[in-house]
Amino acid sequence: MDTRYIFVTGGVVSSLGKGIISSSIARLLLSRGFSVTIQKFDPYINIDPGTLNPYEHGECYVTVDGHEADLDLGHYERFTNIKTTRANNITTGRVYQSVIDKERRGDYLGKTVQIIPHITDEIKRDVKLLANKHKYDFVITEIGGTVGDIESTPFLEAVRQLKWELGNRCVCVHLTYVPYIKAAKELKTKPTQHSVKMLQQVGIQPDILVLRTEKVIPQSICRKVAQFCNVSVEAVTQSVDCPTIYEVPLMMHAQKLDNIILEKTGTPYSGEPDLVKWNKFLDHMKNATEVVTVGLVGKYVELQDAYKSIDESLLQAATYHDRKLQIKYISSEKLNDGNVEEQLADMDGVIVAPGFGVRGTEGKFVALKWCREHDVPTFGICLGMQCMVIEYARDVLGMAEANSTELDPNTPYNVIDLMEEQKSVTNMGGTMRLGAYACHLQPGTKVAQAYGTLDIEERHRHRFEFNDEYRQQFEDAGMKCVGENPDTHLVEVVEVPSKKWYIGTQYHPEYSSTVLNPHPLFMSFIEAAIANKKDKEATKQQ
Ligand code: GLN
């Protein structure tokens, strides 16, 4: 079948959850047996979000092919179970870079290079390239930003042209917001009408509306929206706040969003999507009563999206263990020897987060020492793993000033050091060790047991590494290097086997945990946290 294209645009305000709606549509179409991919266009000028700090756009997600991507790609993978690549996330910066490179090569043969047609053609090429590469049945393209933003104008122009060229093989799903005005006790549709008008002004007639709302919108209001916006009434759907984002596909299916898309794109279909496994996951989530509490120690804890993939990986693992997950976000900047007991005593397990720079690292060492001494299941990820190594060196190996050269370039014990190939790097963008690399695990270790295999591949995003010169000293003192890259022998996993669960990974397992395939290490960590909780309860009762 010819590829169908679904464009997801947003109006009124940002943060309405275009990523979740795109992911939900993908989930429903996949569950009907179609092949699907999702792509995000980000209107900012950065080439990728790799150079942005989490205050700007939350977590930076990493694809297997080493692209630093928008966190929505994490949602896409978690919902669809399909790996994304560099081609799934394109920014204005990248579009321009590619056009400018072509201009310098002389590809435009003396023409004046302009936004229309050159930039818009490049955008259209990126949409179609993705479709042609794998012959997908559906390509869902999420346009970042809000209709009316100057930055997103070229993307919308490309959508307009594609809609014109491809006819009904192309639909536009527009997500808007219907606010509830408490004082008037009314849901207001005017912002939606305005944002649809704005889309129409740039020549795009939305085919389907998804109204984000905190309260259920009565049918009479949907009819009114339909009338004002030239959209058929059954294509005016709503996305009401719900307890978990993973319910959104079901909520949208209940309103036949998938059927409407299939009909509007002239796609033959029959029956219902197979959501058995998805529903099972949600049942586990709804029926879980017992709680497992995990402390997340990091410097961006006040930011909702900074540790998105870790949050979701923990939730997935807890759900499969029939537990309600409670995450306590603990600011590593505020953690010290005086308050660590009070902060961590109730944690069943602790995660020490990834990160860059020295801010908050001393608090991470405090947390790690406390967890190690109190034998709390502890999971260090990337910088968290590096901090595990440093803390162990300081406290167990007697190297009081041990550090990473990232945090203290003059440390006498550089147990974490800049990777050799990083030493000549001057550009900051896209130059880390990025993407999936192989790792060989030592048999008989907790990690090997968790994975159920010795050869794995995991995604990375770092410049510093475990300094191999100290390997023997760590091993002798009880911290084992249990996973390494088979080619470079870079240490990827450390484990203290005498502890219940004290493991650090140089890689980021959180990028590859999905609803249907929870990550084995998170599964194992949560299992250890649950066991630890039981131990604590048993000792209390004695
Ligand atoms: N800052 C560390 C490094 O570059 C860790 C990076 C991370 O946690 N993602 O090696």
Compute the distance from residue 61 Cα to the ligand 1 centre, in Å.
13
- Cα–Cα–Cα angle for 140, 178, 10, rounded to 5 degrees: 25
Compute the distance from residue 463 Cα to the ligand 1 centre, in Å.
6
CB 153 within 8 A of CB 92: no
- 31 pLDDT above the threshold of 90: yes
Query: What string of H, E and C letters represents the secondary structure of 474-500?
Result: HHHCCCEEEEECCCCCCEEEEECCCCC
Compute the distance from residue 507 Cα to the ligand 1 centre, in Å.
9
SS3 43: coil
Per-residue pLDDT at 241: 94
Question: What is the average pLDDT score of the chain?
Answer: 96
Cβ 461 under 6 angstroms from ligand 1:
yes
Cβ 464 under 6 angstroms from ligand 1:
yes
* Displacement of CA 141 from its chain's centroid (Å): 17
Q: What digits encode the pLDDT tens for the residues 73-111?
A: 999 999 999 999 999 999 999 999 999 999 999 999 899
Q: Which residues of 70-100 are buried (b: 16+ CB within 10 A; e: fewer)?
A: bbbbbbbbbbbebbbbbbbbbbbbbbbeebe
Cβ 382 under 6 angstroms from ligand 1:
yes
Q: What digits encode the pLDDT tens for the residues 392-401?
A: 999 999 999 9
- 9 pLDDT above the threshold of 90: yes
Q: What digits encode the pLDDT tens for the residues 268-327?
A: 999 999 999 999 999 999 999 999 999 999 999 888 899 999 999 999 999 999 999 999
Among residues 374, 314, 380, 381, the alpha carbon closest in space to that of 530 is found at: 314
SS3 152: coil
Among residues 444, 424, 422, 443, the alpha carbon closest in space to that of 433 is found at: 422
Cβ 360 under 6 angstroms from ligand 1:
no
Per-residue pLDDT at 542: 78
Compute the distance from residue 355 Cα to the ligand 1 centre, in Å.
6
pLDDT category, 232, cuts 50, 70, 90?
very high
Among residues 422, 441, 432, the alpha carbon closest in space to that of 486 is found at: 441
* Displacement of CA 13 from its chain's centroid (Å): 21
Output the CA torsion sign for 504, 509, 514, 518. negative
The residue contributing the CA closest to ligand 1 atom 6 is 462
Compute the distance from residue 333 Cα to the ligand 1 centre, in Å.
17
Per-residue pLDDT at 278: 98
Spatial separation of the C-alpha atoms in residues 370 and 340, rounded to whole Å: 7
Cβ 306 under 6 angstroms from ligand 1:
no
Among residues 533, 530, 513, the alpha carbon closest in space to that of 522 is found at: 513
Spatial separation of the C-alpha atoms in residues 181 and 51, rounded to whole Å: 39
**DSSP track, 202-237:** TT---SEEEEEESSPPPHHHHHHHHHHHT--GGGEE
Provide Rg for the chain, Cα atoms: 25
State the closest ligand 1 atom to the C-alpha of 432, by its place in the atom list counted from 1: 4
Q: What digits encode the pLDDT tens for the residues 244-257?
A: 999 999 999 999 99
Per-residue pLDDT at 368: 98
Per-residue pLDDT at 505: 98
One-letter identity of residue 76: Y
**Strand (E) or helix (H) holding 539:** helix 520-541
Give 132's DSSP letter: H
Per-residue pLDDT at 343: 97
Cβ 406 under 6 angstroms from ligand 1:
yes
Q: What is the pTM of this model?
A: 0.95
Cβ 462 under 6 angstroms from ligand 1:
yes
Spatial separation of the C-alpha atoms in residues 313 and 519, rounded to whole Å: 7
Secondary structure tally for the chain: helices H, strands E:
18, 23
- 52 pLDDT above the threshold of 90: no
State the closest ligand 1 atom to the C-alpha of 382, by its place in the atom list counted from 1: 8
Spatial separation of the C-alpha atoms in residues 202 and 11, rounded to whole Å: 13
- 57 pLDDT above the threshold of 90: no
Percent of the chain residues topping a pLDDT of 70:
100
Q: What digits encode the pLDDT tens for the residues 139-193?
A: 999 999 999 999 999 999 999 999 999 999 999 999 999 999 999 999 999 999 9
Phi, psi of 169 (to 5 degrees): -75, 5
Spatial separation of the C-alpha atoms in residues 200 and 148, rounded to whole Å: 11
Among residues 312, 411, 295, the alpha carbon closest in space to that of 353 is found at: 295
Per-residue pLDDT at 109: 87
Q: What digits encode the pLDDT tens for the residues 112-132?
A: 999 999 999 999 999 999 888
Residues 6+ apart with CB under 8 A from 60: 49, 50, 52, 54, 68, 69, 71, 461
Compute the distance from residue 382 Cα to the ligand 1 centre, in Å.
6
State the closest ligand 1 atom to the C-alpha of 381, by its place in the atom list counted from 1: 8
State the closest ligand 1 atom to the C-alpha of 355, by its place in the atom list counted from 1: 8
- 529 pLDDT above the threshold of 90: yes
Per-residue pLDDT at 76: 97
Give catalytic residues, as residue numbers: 382, 508, 510
- 138 pLDDT above the threshold of 90: yes
Per-residue pLDDT at 367: 98
Q: If you search the block for the tokens 């209940």, which residue do you land on?
A: 254
SS3 73: helix
State the closest ligand 1 atom to the C-alpha of 465, by its place in the atom list counted from 1: 10
Biggest CA–CA distance in the chain, Å, is: 85
Per-residue pLDDT at 434: 95
Spatial separation of the C-alpha atoms in residues 520 and 2, rounded to whole Å: 37
Spatial separation of the C-alpha atoms in residues 459 and 443, rounded to whole Å: 21
- Cα–Cα–Cα angle for 339, 351, 344, rounded to 5 degrees: 25
Q: What digits encode the pLDDT tens for the residues 348-394?
A: 999 999 999 999 999 999 999 999 999 999 999 999 999 999 999 99
CB 416 within 8 A of CB 387: no
